[in-house]
Chain A
């Protein structure tokens, strides 16, 4: 009973925040709404007996990824999103896609409701840290390693993309070189004259 009430509160919060994310033109408002979605989903994970995933959701999504996004928004000092100018047909595409996906969602809902009742497995130990950890380093070792390599690639890619290749510094070096050469030449000339 309590679980159901909590679920509907946080589900409502998640949907409201998601709509606000799409509705707002200002990227910072969108970012705040998305953080709201993450926190609501994290609370739903707690009701699903997955405390580890809930904590990691807050730590990674709300604490790291969205802080980066907010940082970028503040750094670039962005204006409001402009309305579509030349790609107006996208409104129709988006509405059509949304309708199809919603229809699909309700079909899935209907189909799962119709199917024979699956008894809830009351085993609450599945989401414990110990189980996740042991599964991660025995059964799923290879995927975890691959994800590690992926993260390494992302780090290197991020560094290379965000690096500023400074042309001014290069010019300074070149200029210094030219100046030195000029001085050398002038000195040589003096010597010749003397």
Chain B
């Protein structure tokens, strides 16, 4: 009995954590879609959706029901197995990084000693991360780079030339910009001395520069531009350029399968915003908050959470703003920009950071 309870209890605790985190992220993502439509509407002098619920707040659920009840059309000549696999891969790879997000500082909880079988021994400090792993940055970069298979396979399996073009463009674009993205992260990792996301936040708390956006401004800009390309957003949305390729890689997808791609795109946006926030803007850390509340108390954690979500929302707004402002690149411009400008800039930043670290540690 004791052994069974001891095996199940941590699994249950982690399952509750996973459930809460995924629900929270998916709700934010659903409302990002609404916010995008509203903000784009305002930028273009329209009102945006305002019919479903007060001020359109129930619009995401209406969209969801529409996706569920639409007819699911499968092209006759498609490669069925890969066709079904592609949206699953896209959404899974988008959702997986959630498990390493540092949502907030650890909370010092009440004494759980009253639980049977000494279950509460190890949970005095409740971390706000589902899995505290040593290689968080690499994990997020790796999983998001696997996500490109979703798009490439969707383009290939639809047996449609526009889809194939979209898939090809997407894989070329992602390979090119991943390099710049990785090179821009190296600077932060060198300054922080760790690959752990929480460790990077603590390094920023203790750093003489404050947030890493100050010593790593070039890295920040490169990361942000590469992030736009990685998530296939305007001005780098070549894989789904509707004026050239109908709808790109998801031309042949309808109903829930299209909804999976759609969600994957917005979850990727969220992931990238989290990464920018954690790597360059101090994550959940708000300067001066530790003077008001005791570190580890619940209000401290709550306000840190709000700060974290606020920073992420600022980046999501920035995404939408750019979408309403900039036109699309041409494909050769995109490649030239990535290889001939962004990558050398990121490498120069790495050398610059090496010098900083060398003189700091001397």
Contacts and interface: CB of A to CB of B under 8 A. Distances in A.
Interface residues on A, range: 20 to 34
A133 to B, nearest CB: 9
B82 A32 contact: yes
B275 interface: no
B142 interface: yes
Nearest to B81: A29
B225 to A, nearest CB: 20
Interface in B139-192: 139, 141-143, 145-146, 148-149, 152-153, 155-156, 164, 167-168, 171-172, 174-175, 178
B52 to A, nearest CB: 39
The B contact surface, by secondary structure, is helix
Interface string B70-107: 00000000000010010000000000000000000000
A109 B19 CA distance: 42
Given A28-B156, A129-B135, A63 B82 contact: no
B254 interface: no
Given A64-B145, A71-B168, A74-B168, A59 B138 contact: yes
B152 A67 contact: yes
Interface residues of B, number: 28
Given A55-B135, A55-B139, A74-B167, A35 B175 contact: no
A67 B145 contact: yes
A181 interface: no
A70 B139 CA distance: 22
B142 A74 contact: no
Interface string A1-40: 0000000000000000000000000001100100100010
A35 B85 CA distance: 13
A43 interface: no
Nearest to B139: A55
Given A56-B142, A74-B164, 4 more contacts: A32-B153, A55-B139, A56-B138, A63-B145
21 contacts: A32-B153, A35-B149, A51-B133, A51-B135, A54-B135, A56-B138, A58-B142, A58-B146, A59-B142, A63-B141, A63-B145, A67-B148, A67-B149, A67-B171, A67-B174, A71-B152, A71-B175, A74-B155, A74-B168, A129-B195, A130-B194
